[in-house]
Amino acid sequence: MKHIHLAALLSAAALPLAATAQAAPPTPTAATTPATPTLEPGTTVYDSQGVEIGKVESISGDSVVLAIGENRATLSKSAFGSGAKGASLNTTKAQIEVAVADAAAKSRAALDTALAVGANVQSKDGVAVGTVKSVAGDQIVLDRPAGAVTLTRQMFAAGPAGLTLSLSAAELDAAAKAATARSGAPAPAG
């Protein structure tokens, strides 16, 4: 599953979204739908032609995570309007799918470049947790003071601060200890 921040990726498709977000909403009447839809997890989102794009997975502040098949796209609440079927985006499903695929490819390429032996890794809470010891397919060995752990590629993301894990430092320590306990090996110090 890939999580893509789509706001900057829609390029030409984003222009109609921005224009819709800046336009004054019409005054709702009994015969019209409000310009700003009610968004909550599970809300189905449609494109400008009434085709289902996906469902709202979560909302945090102004950011809405939209589940589109196996991928996730983060959009601003202001990108959403109301259509005949409910919450909608002023773009087509095909344009969204192309933008998500392009962003996913760029994300994979950035991660492939960043996952180099010796690269520093931080946890999602910004704590330095170790360095990449080896990369073999989707298996990444993280060398850390408490002992090396093997993680999957999907647990890493490349960003401006370098490699980041999808776990906090405490979650990584707890998972490593639990894995060690299940294997019967002595627990690493730390």
- What CATH number did the domain enclosing 158 receive? 2.30.30.240
pLDDT of residue 184: 63
What's the structural domain count of the chain?
2
Give 88-138 as a DSSP string.
EESS-HHHHHHHHHHHHHHHHHHHHHH--TT-EEE-TTS-EEEEEEEEETT
For residue 22, is pLDDT > 60?
Answer: no
Residue 100 domain boundaries: 2-108
Q: Give the pTM.
A: 0.62
- The span from the CA of 100 to the CA of 111, in Å, is 16
- 188 falls within a domain: no
The DSSP 8-state label assigned to residue 148 in this structure reads -
- The span from the CA of 122 to the CA of 164, in Å, is 5
Provide the pLDDT confidence category of residue 153 given band limits of 50, 70 and 90: very high
Mean of pLDDT values over 14-18: 31
Same domain, 34 and 94: yes
The DSSP 8-state label assigned to residue 179 in this structure reads H
